Each structure stands twice: as structure tokens, then as C-alpha cells.
Amino acid sequence: MHRDQQKQAAARAALDYIESGDIVGVGSGSTVHFFIDELAKLKGKIDGGVASSIATADRMRARGITVLDLNQVGKVPIYVDGADEATHHLHLIKGGGGALTREKIIAQASEKFVCIADHSKLVPTLGEFPLPIEVIPMAQSLVGRALAGLGALPQLRADFTTDNGNIILHARNLAISNPIQMEQRINQFPGVVTVGLFALRGADVLLLGGENGVEVIR
Ligand code: 5RP
């Protein structure tokens, strides 16, 4: 199966986790694009969705799915999003699309986080993918030095501004043997808005599209 077909299979499998009347948190990225197309088929069944990025909100509206403000909804029973890397412990690196802050907010607000991806995203240890970190622009150098202190090679994502008006630093070369500890540590650096480690609140279920169908890890 081609990579896109694997993403699509994972996206389709996520529909099984959605119940009638749910408000669905919707992540960002190419796998989520497939999910939005699938979700559109359930339009009448759900009460709407909360979007993690402007791109996601635009695609949802274009498919006729009602986009709701997180502050207006009582709870988010389910959140569906992709990942750049995932482990068997359901720890993730996210933010390849730069939407990590709103993604982390909705993940935290959700009762169940269903992560969808193709099988290539499953790794034994996080960190091969350069860790995205959203940073307040004036703190770029300060945070860069703090990351270098952890042994990372920080690099600015060129020509990119997040939906929140901030920059993204990528931390390469980070040994992430303890994702929870690393997330807590980077969270402490003044100027960091969000680190793309989703370990304190990881996924509840991982749906991985592969050659032989969709593998479920929980
Ligand atoms: C966006 C994300 C995406 O979920 C992540 O980058 C995976 O994207 P894709 O589904 O295109 O591989 O975190 O901020």
C-alpha cells in the first residue's frame, strides 16, 4: 500500500471511535486531511468539530462540518490527530505542520486522543525527527542557547509564522530517552510557548496504517 493509502486507512479507522452527538477535536496535517474527508460522511451524526489550525478549519468548513470554538463547548469527547513520530508508549513528536500549540490545547481538553498515522511514524525512540518548538520571537536566541545546553542543534524554520504569530525552532540531535522529563524541561524555558513532545498527555490509541491493514496500539 502506498503511504497515502496507509494514512487514509488509519483515518477511516478513527471513525469507529466517534459516537453520535460527539464534538470532535480535529488535528492538522495530511493524515488529518484524509480524516476530515471521512468525517464529512458523518456530518449528521456529530455536533461539529474544534479545529487545531486555520487550515483545518478551512477544510472542515469546505466539507460542510460545523467549526466550534473550544471555549463554547463543554467537553471534547474525542480528538483525532496525526504525528511525526510515535512510540509504543503512545508518546509523540508533533508540530511538523507548525500547529502544535492548538493541537496540544485540544489534546489536553479531550477525553480520548486517537492518533492516526502511517506505519513509518512508529519509532523505538523519539528524536530522529527534529523536535518542533513554538517560541515567542524575541526569545529566539535565549531559547536557542537553552536548547544547545541540552545538546541540541537548534534551527529556525525559515519563512514560517505560526497561527499564533510566533516562530518555530527545530531541535535536532536531541537524545529523548525520557520524553516526559524532556517535555517538562523544555516547558520551563521562558519564551517557549509549546514543545512538540506529547508525552505528559500522549495518545490513548494509536492507529497505524500499514501493508496489512491498520494496527491498533493502546
Ligand atoms: C501538525 C502535526 C501533524 O499531525 C504531523 O506533522 C503529521 O503530519 P502528516 O499527517 O502530514 O504526516 O503535528 O502540526
> Is residue 64's pLDDT more than 80?
yes
Distance, CA of 51 to CA of 56 (rounded, Å):
6
Cα(83) to centroid of ligand 1, in Å? Answer: 5
- Is the CB of residue 130 below 6 angstroms from any atom belonging to ligand 1? no
Looking at residue 74, its pLDDT comes to: 79
Cα(27) to centroid of ligand 1, in Å? Answer: 8
Catalytic residues: 103
* Percent of the chain topping pLDDT 90: 97
The phi, psi pair for 50, rounded to 5°, reads: -110, 125
Average pLDDT over residues 65-86: 96
> Is residue 75's pLDDT more than 90?
no
The three three-digit cell numbers of residue 212, written as one number: 496489512
pLDDT category at 62 given cuts 50, 70, 90 is very high
Average pLDDT over residues 38-50: 93
Query: Global pTM?
Result: 0.96
Nearest CA to ligand 1 atom 1: 97
* Percent of the chain topping pLDDT 70: 100
Average pLDDT over residues 69-80: 94
186 sits in which H/E element: helix 179-187
Nearest CA to ligand 1 atom 2: 95
* CA torsion angle 196 5 54 95 (round to 10): 10
Which of 91, 94, 164, 166 for mutating ligand 1's site (highest number of atoms within 8 Å of CB)? 94
Q: With CA atoms as reference, report the closest residue to 32 among 3, 70, 60.
A: 60
Please compute Rg for the chain using Cα positions. Answer: 17
The three three-digit cell numbers of residue 118, written as one number: 502511517
